[in-house]
């Protein structure tokens, strides 16, 4: 792992598959832009990628996440309130099973929103001829004649660059 890749390693980054099926971590250009970290991608290219429609969270995704957080706070308040009334834990847990299942729902929705968002980020980065894994400029690199993928010389990931890009 190179120093540049290690500097941006984070458990919160999305994971995607390259064109050859290898699962790799993905850069988040929005986070890089917000943090003013322009090491892997220069400022102008990063601004163009971040400006793509759909790269950030949609209003619907933000609304769902806010609603889920509110739901968690309300349900936690109900559980604490019931506990404070002196109901035994066994009874409280038996009555709260449906509530506990509802607490899982926000995490499922959060995961779906992240997966969708990172898919859009990968498309935007490839459209701007950037490797979604390391941010390397793929412009002018030849495609492998065997499977028509372009291999990033920085990290070794293979990507299909369409004729539209």
β-strands 15-17, 23-25 pairing: antiparallel
pLDDT digits (tens, 9 = 90+) for 33-85: 777 776 777 788 888 887 777 676 677 777 877 877 787 787 777 777 766 77
H or E stretch including 19?
none
**The dihedral sign for the CA sequence 155, 157, 163, 15:** negative
pLDDT digits (tens, 9 = 90+) for 125-148: 888 898 888 888 888 888 888 888
Q: What is the pTM (predicted TM-score) of this model?
A: 0.65
The pLDDT of residue 44 is 81
Q: Where are the domains of the chain?
A: 3-159
Q: What three-state secondary structure class fits 28?
A: coil
To which residue do tokens 């030849």 refer? 142
Q: How far is Cα 47 from Cα 34, in angstroms, rounded to an integer?
A: 10
To which residue do tokens 């999305």 refer? 14
């Amino acid at each position: 792992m190179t120093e540049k890749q290690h500097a941006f390693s984070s458990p919160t980054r999305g994971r995607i598959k390259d064109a050859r099926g290898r699962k790799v971590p993905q850069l988040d250009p929005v986070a890089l832009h917000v943090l003013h970290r322009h090491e892997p991608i220069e400022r102008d290219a990063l601004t163009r990628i971040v400006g793509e429609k759909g790269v950030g969270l949609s209003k619907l995704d933000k609304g769902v996440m806010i609603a889920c957080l509110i739901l968690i706070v309300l349900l936690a308040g109900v559980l604490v309130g019931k506990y404070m009334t002196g109901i035994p834990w066994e009874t409280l847990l038996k009555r709260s099973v449906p509530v506990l299942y509802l607490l899982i729902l926000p995490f499922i929705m959060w995961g779906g929103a992240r997966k969708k968002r990172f898919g859009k980020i990968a498309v935007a980065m490839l459209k701007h001829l950037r490797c979604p894994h390391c941010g390397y400029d793929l412009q002018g690199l030849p495609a492998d004649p065997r499977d028509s993928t372009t291999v990033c010389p920085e990290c070794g990931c293979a990507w299909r660059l369409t004729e539209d890009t």
